[in-house]
Each structure stands twice: as C-alpha cells, then as structure tokens.
Structure 1
Amino acid sequence: MSGFVESLRLENAAGWDGCVKHRYVDELLAGTISDEVMGRYLVQDHRFIDAFVTLVGAAVASADQFESRLRLGRFLGMVCSDENDYFIRSFAALGIGDERHDIPDAAPTAGFKALMKEAAATRSYAAIMAVLNVAEGLYLDWAQRLDGPMPENFIHSEWIVLHDNPFFVDFVTFLKGELDRVGPAEAEVARDFFRRAVDLELAFFDAAYEGDA
C-alpha cells in the first residue's frame, strides 16, 4: 500500500511530471540552457531564500520530535551557506550584478513566496512538510534524471549536484517520512498546500522562458 506522500504525488502527477520533464530540466541536464534563461531562473530562485529560511525555521519550531528538529536545523545551515554561495558565484559568472535587485518578482515567484510564508504562519507541521516535500522532492526527481556526463559549466553542474547528493537524498527521504507520518491527521490541509506548491513550481519553470522565442 502506497504512503500518503505517494498518494499526493499521484493526485498531482500531471504537474509533477510537467516539472520533472520540463524543457528547463532537459536543457540544464544537457548543458545547453542559455545564459539568459539560466540567469532569469536563478535571479528568481534566489528570491526564495528568505521565505524558505522562514519556512524551514517554522518547521524546526513546529516539529513534534527532537530528532526532526535536529535534521531540519542541519539542512537550514546548508541552505544559508553552500547554496547561497552558489548563487553569488553564478551571478558573477553570468555578469549579473546589483541590477538584479531591480528586477520584479515573476508572478510564480511572488506566489510561491506567499505560499511558503502562509504555510509557516499556520504552525502546522503537516502544511509545512507538504510544501517542503514539493520544493525538495521534485528537485531531487529532476536532478536524478541525469543519464550522461555532468555538464562542464559549473553553473549547471553544481545546481544539479546541490539537488542530488547523499545528504540531499537522505533529507528528501526524511521529509517524505515526516509527511507520511503526520499528513494523514491533517490530510486536507496537506493536500491543499501540496497541490498549490506543484502548480506554482510548474509555472515557475515556465516563467524562465518568458520573452524567449
């Protein structure tokens, strides 16, 4: 019998698969994505860090087990160090300077930031786990599609490795276990946040190509 998270993935299969098999993922894994699209994507993705740190912090505060708080705390430290460093180096390599701060949030960016803050404000561990399972599990799924050599450009290769490494795989497994454990007691809340997160992820991937031919 499948678990709660698997049932949510099946309910949202079209959106989930739309992200994992998106043009953005195909081009990223092949190392053929244009600097313009990658830059547009990273500028918007970097906007999530503040809301994401808030979300993970709320998960630490609302977790019902000490070991869960420790796991989430270790992950929070990684987000605030390794991942943020990747963004800074990538912006420099792409020639994207402080002008990026003047670029407005794309609609999916604003929507996802609002969703993360909404989930954090609920203090519902199930709601928070639902959003995290999409934000992290979906990225692991697309990163594990790599079936050839790693792209040579560090902007591409490090973004893939950040989302497919032993620590990250183990953390996604932990997130799935947590939502399987606490989700059924708040099934409708978890289902709502999971669905909206998947829809926003797909819109976010699409937005990276807005303005391209």
Structure 2
Amino acid sequence: MSFSDQLLNKYQNLFTKATTHQFTTELCQGTLPDNKLLLYLIQDLKFFQVGIRLTCKLASLCDDDESQIKLAKQIGFFANNENDYFQICIKDLSSKVALDQSILLPQVETYVAYLKNLLKSNNYSYGQLVTAHYLMEEVYLKWANDAIENNTIPSDIEWKHKEWIDLHSGEGFSNWVKFLKDEVDRVGDETCEQIFVDMCKLEFEFFDACYKHLE
C-alpha cells in the first residue's frame, strides 16, 4: 500500500467527514442557498490567495525538474480559471444577497493562519507541504466525483453550482490530484502524518462554519 493510501486508510473517518458535509451535498444538488454559497466563496477567496502563494513555495522547494514544471503550470491555471469563477460568481451573488464581504469566520481564520505558518516558516519540508496540498485537493475531488458517480447532480443545475463542481472534477483536476498523490508517495514520510490529520480537520471545519454561520 502506498504512503498516501496508508494515510487515507488510517484516517478514513476524518477524511470521510470532510468529503461528505451537507454543504457540498447541497451544492452538488443545486439546493445550497445563495447566502451560504456567497459566504463560502468570500471565505474561500481569502484562503485561495494564501494557497496560491503556498503553491509557489512548493514549486520553489521541489527537488525534481519535471515535477517543478507541473507545479508552475498549475499555478497559472489557478490564477486564470479558478480566479475568474470567484470574480464572476461573487459579483452575481452580491447583486442578490446583502452580506458583509469583509467577514472572516473564526474557523477560516484558523485555517488561513495554519497555511500562513506553512508559507512563512522554513521548518517544513517539500514532503510536508505537498501532503498539505494533496489533502486539500483530494477532498474536493472526492466530493465532486462522488456526486457525479452517484448521479445526484440535476441536469438543469445552475452555473454557479455546476462550474464549481466542474473545476474540481474531470480529467484535468484528476490528473493534478494524482500528481500530488504521486509526489506524496515519492517524498512523504512520518513527519507528514500530522499535517494530513490537521488538514482533514480544517477542511471539515471550513465547510461546517460556512454552512452553519447563517442559520
């Protein structure tokens, strides 16, 4: 069993908790209320901006030329495709929902602070950082693929939901997650395990905070 699969198997309950939250279930069903989606996107954009910087650091630390090029290409994709979705969707939802866009939920603030520590500290290895990246992306691939495979996405689902699903599924994103998984298997060791656990918990708390804040 590969190192990444060992982590997924050992912490299956935590991973499942992060990938089966009601937030993503309703998003994939097209029933997630606009105010919850807008709140989530505002929070995720703050997270996204730190994530881009962290991916740049990951690329700078990579010890393999071919892998480094793949990381650099993915940074460009994030800066274009995914960032466009944030801009378009937040603008559209903001015309329908009144919400303070400066809000930062405590759970999200904790997550962002965790990522900033990974970014600014020189105490983390490439293996530890790639494990963090892998877990983040594997969570998104899992909930999106489960919805596709279980045929729970309505054929008439609105763009604001469908596009977010499409960005986290399909061949391109699946190949990106596989690349990260392969990198974890290539360089990961026991020092990566706690980061995997932390990230599972932080991903769940992110979804949970965004879903429950406006109830």
Q: Which amino acid aligns with 2:163?
A: E
How much has 1:102 moved relative to structure 2? Answer: 2.1
* Counterparts of 2:214 and 2:170, CA distance in 1: 32
1:168 to 168, 173, 191: 173
| Contact map agreement 1:25 1:142 (CA 8 A) in 2 | yes
For 1:143-162, what aligned pairs fall within 5 Å after superposition? 143-146=144-147, 147-148=150-151, 149-150=154-155, 152-162=157-167
Is 2:99 the counterpart of 1:102?
no
- The structure with higher relative contact order (CA 8 Å, sep 6+) is 2
1:199 to 198, 201, 213: 201
TM-score, normalised relative to structure 2:
0.90
Unmatched 5+ residue regions in structure 2?
none
For 1:127-142, what aligned pairs fall within 5 Å after superposition? 127-142=128-143
Partner of 1:126 in structure 2? 127
* Counterparts of 1:152 and 1:27, CA distance in 2: 11
- 1:2-56 Cα shifts (integer Å, max 9, x gaps): 1111111122222210121110121111111111111111110111122101110
| Contact map agreement 1:150 1:157 (CA 8 A) in 2 | no
Unmatched 5+ residue regions in structure 1?
none
Cα 1:57–1:14 shift into 2, 3 Å:
same
Partner of 2:26 in structure 1? 27
Identity %: 29
Cα 1:101–1:32 shift into 2, 3 Å:
closer
Matched length: 208
Find the residue that maps to 1:102 and give its secondary structure.
Answer: coil
* Counterparts of 1:78 and 1:210, CA distance in 2: 31
| Contact map agreement 2:27 2:161 (CA 8 A) in 1 | yes
Q: Which amino acid aligns with 1:177?
A: D
* Counterparts of 1:94 and 1:162, CA distance in 2: 19
| Contact map agreement 1:58 1:123 (CA 8 A) in 2 | no
Partner of 2:182 in structure 1? 177
| Contact map agreement 1:119 1:131 (CA 8 A) in 2 | no
Find the residue that maps to 1:152 and give its secondary structure.
Answer: coil
| Contact map agreement 1:56 1:76 (CA 8 A) in 2 | yes
Q: Which amino acid aligns with 2:165?
A: I
TM-score, normalised relative to structure 1:
0.91
Find the residue that maps to 1:33 and give its secondary structure.
Answer: coil
- 1:108-146 Cα shifts (integer Å, max 9, x gaps): 212222222222333510111111011101100000012
Q: Which amino acid aligns with 2:71?
A: L
